[in-house]
Amino acid sequence: MAKNNDLPTYYEGQYRGIRAHHIIADYNLSYNIGTAVTYLLRAGKKPNNPIEQDIKKAIDHLNFELEKLNDKEKKAIDRINKKLFNGNTDSTY
């Protein structure tokens, strides 16, 4: 079932043999985006694993990434407001 260092074949491209983790590394993807890509690349290929399950897992990880980005953005805005208004965000200049 597995080749190339005992990695399961469903993580390897059919035509060129490119492995999912090489794609993730080459594009320097974050954990959540890389995991989502991996789930999409193997979707429908892992035995006894429905394609819908991998697609849903990929969507979950993309949503986790969006939450992380939104949280970072909110924290950055909060830091700016704190500097501008000395912690008083009710101020109107």
Q: How far is CA 92 from CA 38, 39, 41, 84, in A?
A: 48, 48, 51, 11
Note whether residue 45 is domain-resident. Answer: yes
- Residues 62-79 have a mean pLDDT of 93
Q: Give dist(CA 12, CA 38) in Å, integer.
A: 10
Note whether residue 82 is domain-resident. Answer: no
Note whether residue 92 is domain-resident. Answer: no
Q: What is the pTM of this model?
A: 0.72
Q: Give dist(CA 60, CA 77) in Å, integer.
A: 26
What's residue 16's pLDDT? 87
Could you write out the DSSP letters of every residue in 20-74?
Answer: HHHHHHHHT--HHHHHHHHHHHHTTTSTT--HHHHHHHHHHHHHHHHHHHHHHHH
pLDDT tens digit string along 5-52? 677 888 888 888 899 999 999 999 999 999 999 999 999 999 999 999
Lowest pLDDT segment from 1-15, 22-36, 50-64, 73-87: 1-15
Note whether residue 89 is domain-resident. Answer: no
Note whether residue 58 is domain-resident. Answer: yes
Is the pLDDT confidence value at 3 over 60? no
* Number of domains forming the structure of the chain: 1
What is the residue range of 29's domain? Answer: 2-68
Note whether residue 87 is domain-resident. Answer: no
Note whether residue 85 is domain-resident. Answer: no
